[in-house]
Amino acid sequence: MRKKVCIQGLGFVGFAMGIAVASAKDKDTGLPLYNVVGIDLPNKEGLKKVQDINNGKFPISCNDKNLEKAYKESIKNGNFYGSVNIDEYKDADFVIVDINLDVSINGKLSKIEFSNFKKAIETIGLKIKKDTLVIVETTVPPGTTEKIVLPILQENISKRFGNKCQPLLAHSYERVMPGPEYLSSIINFWRVYAGIDSKSSKLAKEFLSTIINTKNYPLTQLSSTTASELSKVLENSYRATNIAFIHEWGKFAEKIGVNLFEVIEAIKIRPTHSNMKKPGLGVGGYCLTKDPLMGFVSSNQFFKNNIIDFPLSEKAVEINSNMPKHSFNITLDKLNDLNNSSKVLILGLTYRDQVGDTRYSASIELAKMFIRKKISVYSHDPMIIDELSLDFNLLKDLPNASDFDAIIFTVAHHFYKELNLKEWLSDYRGFILDSNNILTENQIEILKNLKISFKIVGRGDI
Ligand SMILES: NC(=O)c1ccc[n+]([C@@H]2O[C@H](COP(=O)([O-])OP(=O)(O)OC[C@H]3O[C@@H](n4cnc5c(N)ncnc54)[C@H](O)[C@@H]3O)[C@@H](O)[C@H]2O)c1
């Protein structure tokens, strides 16, 4: 009999994780190992996701052909479906929590309101069997599994199965990378986990080993769920801080006539410096914009006896959220006669290249800055398939360049890297900004030959 896995939350992570679990096969028979149910809330968005999944319609915008193929296969095999019915948890052998947990960002007053998260865990606790393993994958402040999830599960389980019954509980985080390698970034990648006790750790290891290619990407077990949670949050904070750090050097390089990209490549030869970040438009997406604050939130809300400050992480979030202002200022300086009739075109609205996710997109922040100055903003993004509610125009096709006073390349989608600028910009007389190191050397040469005024963030040599 196939084991049943419930995924709580059918978002960008939960849906892809659901497909990864549904794709796990028995080594001997080649048949699926699990029946997977993705459970979302019975609201408009949740019902739509569930309906789409069950009607064979891909519920998220994504360009990973393998994820699409695996999804179709799981529908054909009948081992993956969506539901809003919480009774699905009743006979689950494994439950994976993949819901959102937002940080209300406000410097030292940043905090997390846990009520929806607690309700979600309670829903699981009220229904599961006594031997169901619950794995928390949601990014949470260190301490959450022990201090919030465990007591809720314990209370609800002991009510039904007696005080001696201990929940099976683990924390494990994926390092999913939305984009063309979406599914592979779950299956073919290292993963960290920890159980609340040895029984939970053992079960978590066995389960994850059936889904992840542990032969090539062995699991890392940490000694507590709090350590595993901290590992996820620190990993993202490190990246966000690295980006914030390079931003000031990018601005300096622009001032003193240096190409910082060239410098970074030279420095990266040192193995100790191989992951230096590059200057750009800003940091978007659901993770890096909030995760660096989770250390502070944890200290402030869970470990109050001796609150630790996180000045670097806090500053990184602040710097990163202000980064689009730099691209905005460069454009304004170049076009100081911009007025109400001026038009700006932003090329790329998603939070990173080759994805359709626009959450916390730096390009949208940039657009809002122009709008506040009463400058008309038009945008284009070949990766967006959803209807978006925006305060500016999102064009389906690339417009005529000469209709605009400024054009800003913001996201390195292949479409823009492969754009024939010689043709598209032949009559263009406005200003061009490349705010994310998007233009190729060939495209830069074309701009020079066409005598178009342009700048590149992080390059003072141009
Ligand atoms: N998006 C990424 O690239 C990424 C990468 C790594 C980790 N994460 C983390 O994974 C988690 C999920 O992120 P996401 O991008 O999938 O979020 P999301 O907002 O796209 O999806 C969350 C889903 O959970 C659902 N949900 C909320 N409460 C629920 C409940 N009680 N029962 C059932 N469903 C419920 C929501 O309706 C939504 O569909 C977050 O903690 C995030 O930080 C995200």
What pTM was estimated for this model as a whole?
0.93
**Confidence band of 355 (pLDDT split at 50, 70, 90):** confident
Q: Which domain holds residue 413?
A: 323-456
AA identity, residue 323: M
Q: How far apart are CA 367 and CA 390, in angstroms?
A: 10
Examine the domain organization and report whether 216 and 328 are in the same domain.
no
Q: Tell whether 185 and 327 lie within a shared domain.
A: no
Domain-located, residue 355: yes
Read off the tokens for 59.
């519920």
Per-residue tokens: 1: 């009999």
Determine the pLDDT at residue 32: 97
231 assigned to some structural domain: no
Distance CA 260, CA 331 (A): 20
Q: Is residue 42 assigned to a domain?
A: yes
- Residues 357, 213, single domain; the answer is no
- 402, 371 Cβ separation under 8 angstroms: no
Res 386 pLDDT > 90:
no
In a mutational test of the pocket of ligand 1, which residue from 7, 83, 98, 101 has the highest number of ligand atoms less than 8 Å from its CB? 98
- What would the mean pLDDT of 325-348 be, rounded to a whole number? 87
- Residue environment code for 26-47, b if the CB has 16+ CB neighbours within 10 A, otherwise e: eeeeeebbbbbbbbbbeeeebe
Q: Quote helix, strand, coil % in the chain, to nearest 5.
A: 45, 15, 40
Backbone angles phi, psi at 81, to 5 degrees: -150, 165
Distance 363 CA to ligand 1 centre (A): 22
The per-residue pLDDT for 180 is 87
Is residue 305 situated within a structural domain?
no
What's the domain count of the chain?
2
Statement to judge: residues 339 and 198 lie in one domain: no
Q: Which residues are 32's β-sheet partners? A: 25
Cβ neighbors of 364 (< 8 A, separation 6 or more) are 349, 358, 390
Both 212 and 332 in one domain: the answer is no
Alpha carbon distance 147, 230 (integer Å): 14
Are 71 and 198 found together in one domain?
yes
420 vs 417: CA distance, rounded Å: 9
Same domain, 24 and 158: yes
CA 147 to chain centre: 26
Q: Looking at residues 60-74, what average pLDDT do you find?
A: 89
Q: List, for residues 162-189, the tens digit of each pLDDT value.
A: 988 999 999 999 898 888 899 999 999 9
Closest ligand 1 atom number to CA of residue 357: 1
**Would you say residue 61 has pLDDT above 80?**
no
Residue 337 has a pLDDT of: 67
Which pLDDT score, from 0 to 100, does residue 107 have?
82
Same domain, yes or no, for 163 and 22? Answer: yes
Q: What is the pLDDT of residues 282-312, one digit of tens each?
A: 998 889 999 999 999 999 999 988 889 999 9
294 occurs within a structural domain:
no
Residue 398 has pLDDT above 70, yes or no: yes
Cβ < 6 Å from ligand 1: which residues? 8-14, 39-41, 45-46, 98-101, 116, 120, 123, 138-139, 174, 176, 178, 286-287
Cα first-last separation, the chain: 65
Residue nearest atom 11 in ligand 1 by C-alpha distance: 138
CATH number at residue 431: 3.40.50.720
Given a cut of 80, whether residue 62 has pLDDT beyond it is no
Region of 83 (left: φ > 0; alpha: ψ -120 to 50; beta: rest) is beta
Token output for 297: 């939130």
In a domain, 261, yes or no: no
Whole-number Å distance between alpha carbons of 278 and 275 = 9
In ligand 1, which atom is closest to the CA atom of 15?
16
**Which residue's alpha carbon is at the smallest distance from atom 33 of ligand 1?**
40
The two structure tokens encoding residue 4: 């049943």
Of the pLDDT bands very low, low, confident and very high (cuts 50, 70, 90), residue 273 is very high
Pocket test for ligand 1, best of 99, 183, 186, 236 (most atoms within 8 A of CB): 99
Give the Cα separation of 313 and 51 in Å (integer). 40
The two tokens of residue 293 are 């604050």
Structural domain contains residue 247: no
- Give the H or E element holding residue 432: strand 431-434
Mean pLDDT value across the chain: 95
pLDDT at residue 370, as a whole number: 94
Q: How far apart are CA 23 and CA 30, in angstroms?
A: 10
In which band, very low, low, confident or very high, does the pLDDT at 387 lie, cut at 50, 70 and 90? confident
Does residue 205 sit in the same domain as residue 331?
Answer: no
Whether residues 220 and 329 share a domain: the answer is no
Question: CB–CB of 71/80 below 8 Å?
Answer: yes
Q: Which two three-digit tokens encode residue 379?
A: 């945008």
pLDDT of 284: 87
pLDDT reported for residue 339: 65
Query: Are 28 and 147 in the same domain?
Result: yes
- Confirm if 5 and 92 have CB atoms less than 8 A apart: yes
CA 342 – ligand 1 centroid, Å: 39
pLDDT digits (tens, 9 = 90+) for 138-169: 999 999 999 999 999 999 999 999 988 999 99
Minimum-distance ligand 1 atom for the alpha carbon of 120: 31
Question: Rounded to whole angstroms, how far apart are CA atoms 43 and 47?
Answer: 6
Q: Which pLDDT score is estimated for 340?
A: 65
Residue 357: pLDDT band (50, 70, 90) is confident
**Tokens encoding 401:** 């360049």
- Helix or strand or coil: residue 68? helix
Pocket test for ligand 1, best of 10, 13, 185 (most atoms within 8 A of CB): 13
What is the percent of the chain where pLDDT is above 90?
86
Strand order in the sheet with 376-380: 393-395, 376-380, 343-347, 406-409, 431-434, 453-456
Question: Which residue, 195, 224, 253, sits at the end of a domain?
Answer: 224
Amino acid 177: pLDDT: 87
Q: Are 280 and 433 in contact (CB under 8 A)?
A: no
Q: Which of 197, 224, 251 is the last residue of a domain?
A: 224
Establish if 407 belongs to a structural domain: yes
Model pLDDT for residues 106-146, shown as the tens digit of each residue: 888 899 999 999 999 999 999 999 999 999 999 999 999 99
pLDDT of the residue at 307: 87
Instruction: Render pLDDT for 19-47 as a digit per residue (tens, 0 to 9).
Output: 999 999 999 999 999 999 999 999 999 99
**Which residue did the predictor score with more confidence, 304 or 349?**
349
The residue from 173, 208, 224 where one domain ends is 224
Whether the CB-CB separation of 457 and 432 falls below 8 Å is answered with: no
Q: What is the mean pLDDT of residues 382-392?
A: 87
Residue nearest to atom 30 of ligand 1 (CA): 120
Closest CA to 293 of 321, 315, 314, 312: 314
Q: 354: Cβ–Cβ under 8 A, 6 or more apart, which residues? A: 63, 179, 180, 383, 413, 414
